[in-house]
């Protein structure tokens, strides 16, 4: 399957533009939206993963660091500045008088004109705020504590890129929502992929945490001579996680924590014996980091997504109950569809995760009537108990 053009717009957004009666305004917005789509795509995580360090040690201050990182920094600034230029071209800010005001404008003559002015103001203000953030990035990367350490530089760069994507997405959503009732997923380029990546990362992080926790539970009953082998197994779990596509979206600061732990574990695995307390002290703080990562994804990124999935699962379960009441064979189908959809909530709750793992089924593997009813009742209980902030 070929990759769509970087400036491709979601079908819902294209339909919205087609429906606008003011064609000049529609063409102006289309130029902004296409520039926004390119910026969002190019600011994605894959563009800078190749610049990330592979060891926990800082690089130190030398010219090679800047030579290595200059393309990533230049791409970031270039992508955002291009969008700012397009906005200022399509929706130029009104000229200010010597006194600083923008002069008098007649009130809008129609509802369409009022919306057009609202959208124009949102675009202009967004461009100004993006420009200030570009200047902030330039200042941040010149700080001594940043310029001498690739980890610090990558952390700043990733943070700004995420912020730029969020602000650009807000611009597209807010201007589109002025004309029609739309969701972010319908109109913001790349939003669906961003949510899918966050869902994948949350799931992978919590699976990694569960794996590490189960290995730590073996420390108390393992002799010191056997703990180097256990340290190697923990390191292999971290290595497997690092090789997963989902791990690419992890924050740089958290990746550094995992790399530091892997290096410690590699050292412990070479020792003839390791005290249990030493291994526990190395790994336990990372369990807290992984839990924090999942919590941040849940509360800062996936809140609206999770509520929509929760509601969709509830509707499916209602259908399953109706099928059971009527004696219809559709109950199992609907339940399995609900379980598949609910997998997007994996990582929100240990009890819910355990329920999902228990009811993962191979294709063609059916459910007996008693199993179906029990699974449905447990599903409803677990779904109702999910914490929402």
Q: Which of 154, 238, 241, 248 lies closest to 194, judged by CA?
A: 248
Reported as a pLDDT band with limits 50, 70 and 90, residue 104 is low
Where residue 350 falls among pLDDT bands split at 50, 70, 90? very high
State pLDDT tens for residues 9-49. Answer: 999 999 999 999 999 999 999 999 999 999 999 998 656 77
Position of tokens 């993963």? Answer: 49
Q: Let me know if 138 is exposed, middle or buried by CB neighbors in 10 A (0-12, 13-18, 19+).
A: exposed
**pLDDT average, residue stretch 342-369:** 84
For the chain, helix (H) and strand (E) counts, in that order, are: 15, 0
**Which region holds residue 361: left if phi is over 0, alpha if psi is between -120 and 50, else beta?**
beta
Angstrom CA distances, 321 to 97, 270, 318, stand at: 68, 57, 5
pLDDT at residue 196 greater than cutoff 70:
yes
Which of these, 5, 3, 8, 6, lies nearest to 187 by C-alpha position?
8
């Amino acid at each position: 399957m070929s990759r769509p053009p970087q400036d491709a717009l979601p079908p819902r957004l294209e339909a919205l533009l087609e429906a606008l009666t003011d064609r000049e305004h529609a063409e102006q917005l289309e130029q902004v939206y296409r520039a926004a789509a390119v910026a969002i795509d190019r600011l994605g995580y894959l563009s800078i993963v190749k610049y990330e360090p592979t060891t926990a040690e800082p690089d130190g201050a030398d010219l090679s660091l800047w030579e290595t990182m200059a393309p990533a920094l230049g791409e970031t600034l270039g992508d955002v500045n291009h969008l700012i230029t397009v906005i200022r071209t399509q929706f130029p800010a009104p000229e200010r008088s010597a006194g600083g005001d923008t002069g008098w404008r007649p009130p809008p003559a129609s509802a369409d004109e009022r919306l057009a002015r609202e959208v124009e103001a949102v675009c202009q203000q967004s461009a100004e705020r993006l420009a200030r953030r570009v200047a902030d990035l330039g200042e941040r990367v010149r700080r001594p504590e940043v310029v001498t350490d690739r980890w610090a530089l990558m952390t700043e760069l990733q943070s700004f890129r995420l912020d730029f994507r969020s602000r650009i997405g807000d611009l597209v959503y807010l201007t589109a929502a002025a004309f029609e009732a739309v969701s972010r997923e319908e109109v913001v380029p790349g939003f669906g992929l961003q949510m899918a990546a966050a869902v994948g990362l949350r799931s992978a992080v919590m699976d990694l945490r569960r794996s590490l926790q189960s290995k730590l539970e073996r420390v108390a009953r393992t002799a010191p001579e056997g703990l180097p082998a256990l340290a190697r197994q923990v390191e292999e779990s971290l290595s497997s996680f690092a090789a997963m596509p989902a791990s690419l979206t992890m924050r740089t600061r958290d990746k550094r924590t995992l790399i530091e732990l892997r290096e410690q574990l590699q050292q412990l695995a070479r020792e003839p014996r390791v005290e249990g307390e030493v291994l526990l002290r190395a790994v336990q703080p990372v369990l807290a980091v992984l839990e924090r990562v999942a919590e941040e994804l849940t509360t800062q990124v996936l809140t609206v997504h999770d509520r929509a999935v929760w509601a969709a699962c509830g509707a499916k379960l209602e259908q399953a109950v109706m099928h059971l009441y009527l004696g219809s064979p559709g109950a199992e189908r609907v339940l399995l569809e609900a379980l598949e959809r609910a997998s997007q909530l994996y990582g929100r709750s240990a009890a819910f995760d355990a329920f999902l793992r228990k009811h993962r089924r191979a294709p063609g593997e059916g459910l007996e009537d008693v199993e179906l009813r029990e699974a449905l009742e447990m599903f409803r209980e677990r779904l109702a108990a999910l914490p929402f902030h």
